[in-house]
Amino acid sequence: MPQLLITGGAGFIGSHSCLSFLEAGHNLVILDNYSNGSKEALKRVAQLVGLHDSKRLRLIRGDIRNKNDLDKAFTASDQPIEAVIHFAGLKAVSESFLDPLKYWDVNLSGSRSLLEAMLSYECKTIVFSSSATIYGCPQKIPIDETALVQPVNPYGHTKAAVERLLSDLAESQNGWRIASLRYFNPVGAHSSGVIGEDPNGLPNNLFPVVSQVAVGRIEELKVFGCDWSTPDGSAIRDFIHVVDLAEGHLAALEVLLREPPQMLTLNLGTGRGHSVLEVLNAFQKVSKRNIPYLIERRRPGDVACTVADSTMAEQRLGWKTKLNLFDMCKDAWNWQKMNPLGYQEK
Ligand code: NAD
Ligand code: UD1
């Protein structure tokens, strides 16, 4: 089975994807600086797989911007790295407005250093974490991959720039196998409740906020805007279960390794939109907790509605999401209930 390098494997999507890749038989080297990830998450991933062979999961603490750390990661195993799954990056939209240099440094310079290391180790297969944020304010819903790339925040600009770099690379050199996966809104947790989303500090995203209100860590949910032009006035998003998303990475890697060199650019979403108030109601039902909320003004940088047209991913990858909003709420709540303080608990 191929040896993979997973950057950012200790984070939310990375840890769930590591579980899927290990279950599929891959051997992994993880490179993570733990700035927003946890070693405990990977310990739990190993437990879930029943892993006793440390050679199947090697952890390197290091930074994708640091050549020595990259060298350590590429030489950690006696097998060559066949492909890289590149999750490492910064993702908070509001922080990206406050500190754009940091975002360009980690997301773009970090990706460039990684690609340079890949070339020097003759590894030309990469799956990259892109984001629906690159579409900005979409002209048409659902959004397909031909929609204009016109980000409205620095975070989105860095993701669009990495996509540009990847496509220039694919055109300039033979042999690159690239998948850029544009995630919509990844949420939920593994159904065991053993791994899940554990943001540092106060959460910004809807699901972690709702979960933390339900468990009593936050007093109330602030609903940012009930004056959008949507049926109930709250904004609509395409929430995708993190386990479905992880399976999407596995499918993308299989296609890249099987087919001739190419660059795939694909939306990963469910194709169904749910409003903020719908999420709130579903979460209350599942958790049987009252979730107090206040309607607030719109949050700067938000858009009314994003829903994916995922037809292309379904056709190219033979992949389809299986889990719905109920599963997302149930699993997010199960994780939060079992780990009220996230990974700090143990
Ligand atoms: P996360 O913060 O949980 O995981 C990112 C991981 O990367 C963390 O473990 C962090 O410690 C690590 N990391 C950060 N900077 C690093 C560096 N310089 N060197 C090495 N490791 C570093 O985020 P996530 O939600 O799992 O997101 C994974 C990827 O998917 C990110 O690139 C993100 O931009 C992208 N994405 C996320 C979402 C989302 O809503 N969660 C949506 C679209 C795209
Ligand atoms: C944003 C980015 C996405 C990025 C993700 C992770 C856009 C379009 N999307 O997703 O690319 O990867 O952040 O940081 O830029 N909400 C509330 N109250 C809250 C929190 C959220 O009402 O306390 C609302 C928001 O206003 C929004 C919806 O819930 O309408 C979803 O918000 P969130 O979970 O933060 O994700 P996005 O902003 O869609």
Give the pLDDT of residue 344.
83
Catalytic residue among 155, 183, 293, 343: 155
Mean pLDDT over each residue of the chain, to the nearest integer: 96
Taking each helix axis from N to C terminus, what angle separates 206-214 and 276-287, rounded to the nearest 10 degrees?
30
CATH 3.40.50.10190 matches 3-345: no
For residue 345, pLDDT beyond 80:
no
Give the pLDDT of residue 113.
98
Give the pLDDT of residue 246.
98
Phi and psi torsions of 323, nearest 5°: -105, 145
User: Which protein residues touch ligand 1 with a CB less than 6 Å away?
Assistant: 7-8, 10-14, 31-37, 63-65, 87-89, 91, 106, 110, 129, 131, 183, 185-186
For residue 155, indicate whether it is catalytic.
yes
Give the pLDDT of residue 125.
98
Taking each helix axis from N to C terminus, what angle separates 110-120 and 154-172, rounded to the nearest 10 degrees?
20
Give the pLDDT of residue 95.
92
Give the pLDDT of residue 203.
93
pLDDT digits over 219-276, tens only? 999 999 999 999 999 999 999 999 999 999 999 999 999 999 999 999 999 999 999 9
pTM over 0.75: yes
Give the pLDDT of residue 134.
96
pLDDT digits over 291-331, tens only? 999 999 999 878 899 999 999 999 999 999 999 999 999 99
Domain positions in the chain = 3-345
Name the helix (H) or strand (E) containing 332: helix 325-338
Q: How far is the CA of 5 from the centre of ligand 1 (A)?
A: 15
pLDDT digits over 139-163, tens only? 999 999 999 999 999 999 999 999 9
Nearest to 342 by CA among 222, 219, 194: 194
